[in-house]
Amino acid sequence: MKIAICQLNTVWECKNENLDKIERMLFDIKQFDSDVELGIFPEFFTTGFSFNPELPEQMSGFSVSRLVEISKATGVALIGSIPIMDKGVYYNRQMLIDGFDIQYYDKRHIFRYGGEDRLFMQGEKRVIFKFKEFKILPQVCYDLRFPVWSRVVNNDYDLVIWSANWPLSRESVIEPLVRARAIENLAYAIFVNRTGSEPQINYAGKSIGVDFKGEIITKFGEKEEYKIIDISLERLNDFREKFRVWEDSDKFNLQK
């Protein structure tokens, strides 16, 4: 499966401008390589990492509707997180939008250090997205620091994706953490970060794609750009069959 990793310089609190940019990027990607099926975007890729309570929308709102139309028009499914209000509660919600088909996950590890808990509620449910032949574990930014939350159970996912707004001041830990998650779970791992600046924070970029052995497929610098990678479920399953360490994994139960 061909995937476009899209490292954006998100415009602060400007939904229309960001959505226009996303649409242009996906059309450009599809023109460059018509076989791309999935585009992956950063955390809060329509707004920036803002806690403005006027920004979250309902699932039936403008941003989700526009993203559905963009997916339909370009023929590319997309993953990224946006601020959502659901039954009066605010969530950092990562979605896989494939035309009218929407799957979602609410960020579990809210970044209290940065004040995210002042507006957003943590999610409680571990979710596996189904896309084409792949099973995808969605994660958001700070989730990367908590390996139990991404622990594979009986090979229940093939690819883990983090949409992130990871600051420049802590960029040195991105690569070792992503590679560790790939190695310990025998799964592909993709970390998609934003780049550029917001009023209080400079961002790292440094997005990265890693295979199930922890080997780097692609990595980014700090500029806004996309890169296309090709991942193989057949190669993953073949490796898991030969190197069956997952059979010896620990059994555990997650608690709140």
Give catalytic residue positions: 43, 107, 141
Distance CA 246, CA 252 (A): 14
B/e letters for 132-166, b = 16+ CB within 10 Å, e = fewer, are eebbbbbbbbbbbeeeeebbbeebebbbbbbbbbb
Q: Say if CB 210 and CB 179 are below 8 A apart.
A: yes
| Rounded Cα–Cα distance for residues 100 and 106 (Å) | 19
Radius of gyration, alpha carbons of the chain: 17
Residues with Cβ within 8 Å of residue 227, at least 6 apart in sequence = 4, 5, 207, 209, 218, 220
Q: What is the DSSP letter of 58?
A: -
Q: Measuring CA to CA, which residue among 9, 1, 6, 4 is closest to residue 30?
A: 4
Q: Give the span between the Cα atoms of 204 and 99, in whole angstroms.
A: 31
